[in-house]
């Protein structure tokens, strides 16, 4: 029984290690997994092994993967494009506030907006580099990231279901979770990413159906818009996979 649990934990840790950049994995993946296996064996040797106590190892490994990707971005100067894009976009409301009272952003609006824009830019840079030579892949990533950013922004600004504070809007986070989890599981490979986008489209329709059945309102137009975004991204990922299979 304990041996089965240990194998499952090792598989989970191995999947986590795969989140590191390829150069890092090629150099450190094997010793990291061996060190973790040794640690796990020590825990199993106890009379009362506590697998939950290994959670900090997973958290530290995940933080390390994020840190390594950030280091790569810094080394490649990839941070410059998202940063400049974020600053340019935030300049729009900042300048507009000087000429009209219709735009009234506070510091919290700029902080949240900046975080969302920077996060979207970095996400694009990280994923798009998986197939830097494929225009279709990069376009698919750009559309998917822009759609996710728009979905979050609309929910924060006005809310799709009812109003901003309506808890029902949290259902839309499920659409993003499906896309993110699916992308990670398929390791950002184009054909798998295409399926992840199709799953997001299905979840978008499911949320609309639940909202309609619960009397939260009809969201046909906004649902159609996001479904079109996810399907377009799925098609581009599928096209990218086909181009890759065809070769030069």
User: In this predicted model, what pLDDT tens digit does every residue of 172-197 receive, in sequence order?
Assistant: 999 999 999 999 899 899 999 999 99
Q: Is residue 133 predicted with pLDDT exceeding 60? A: yes
Q: Quick check: helix, strand or coil at residue 190?
A: helix
Contact indicator for 216, 168 with CB cutoff of 8 Å:
yes
Of 129 and 211, more confident: 211
pLDDT at 49: 47
Of 119 and 167, more confident: 119
Q: Where are the domains of the chain?
A: 2-72, 112-246
Q: Quick check: helix, strand or coil at residue 35?
A: helix
Average pLDDT over residues 98-126: 89
Q: Is residue 1 predicted with pLDDT exceeding 70? A: no
Rounded Cα–Cα distance for residues 95 and 93 (Å): 5
Contact indicator for 30, 45 with CB cutoff of 8 Å:
no
pLDDT band with cut points at 50, 70 and 90 for residue 48: very low
Contact indicator for 174, 134 with CB cutoff of 8 Å:
no
C-alpha 165 chain-centroid distance: 24
Average pLDDT over residues 149-172: 84
Q: Which token pair is 164? A: 């901003």
Average pLDDT over residues 198-224: 92
Residue ranges in 1-106 assigned as alpha helix (H): 2-17, 22-45, 55-75, 80-96
pLDDT band with cut points at 50, 70 and 90 for residue 75: low
Q: Which token pair is 195? A: 């399926």
- Condensed to tens digits (0 to 9), the pLDDT of residues 86-102 reads 999 999 999 998 888 88
Rounded Cα–Cα distance for residues 157 and 172 (Å): 14
Task: With residue 172 as reference, give the H or E element that holds it.
Answer: helix 171-185
pLDDT band with cut points at 50, 70 and 90 for residue 150: very high
Contact indicator for 141, 190 with CB cutoff of 8 Å:
no
Q: Which token pair is 123? A: 């996400």
C-alpha 71 chain-centroid distance: 19
Q: Is residue 51 predicted with pLDDT exceeding 60? A: no
């Amino acid at each position: 029984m304990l041996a089965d649990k240990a194998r499952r934990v090792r598989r989970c840790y191995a999947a986590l290690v795969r989140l590191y950049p390829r150069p890092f994995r090629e150099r450190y993946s094997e010793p990291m997994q061996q060190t973790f296996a040794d640690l796990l064996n020590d825990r199993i040797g106890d009379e009362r092994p506590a697998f939950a106590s290994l959670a900090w190892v997973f958290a530290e490994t995940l933080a390390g993967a994020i840190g390594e990707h950030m280091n790569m971005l810094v080394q490649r100067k990839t941070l410059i494009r998202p940063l400049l894009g974020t600053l340019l976009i935030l300049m729009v409301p900042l300048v507009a506030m000087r000429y009209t009272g219709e735009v009234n952003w506070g510091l919290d609006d700029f902080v949240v907006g900046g975080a969302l824009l920077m996060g979207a830019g970095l996400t694009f840079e990280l994923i798009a580099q998986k197939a830097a030579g494929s225009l279709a892949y990069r376009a698919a990533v750009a559309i998917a990231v822009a759609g996710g950013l728009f979905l979050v922004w609309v929910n924060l600004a006005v809310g799709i279901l009812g109003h901003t504070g309506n808890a029902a809007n949290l259902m839309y986070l499920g659409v993003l979770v499906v896309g993110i989890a699916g992308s990670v599981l398929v390791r950002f490979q184009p054909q798998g990413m295409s399926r992840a986008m199709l799953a997001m489209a299905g979840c978008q329709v499911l949320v609309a159906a639940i909202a309609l059945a619960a009397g939260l309102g009809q969201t046909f137009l906004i649902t159609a818009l996001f479904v079109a975004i996810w399907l377009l991204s799925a098609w581009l990922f599928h096209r990218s996979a086909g181009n890759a299979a065809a070769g030069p």
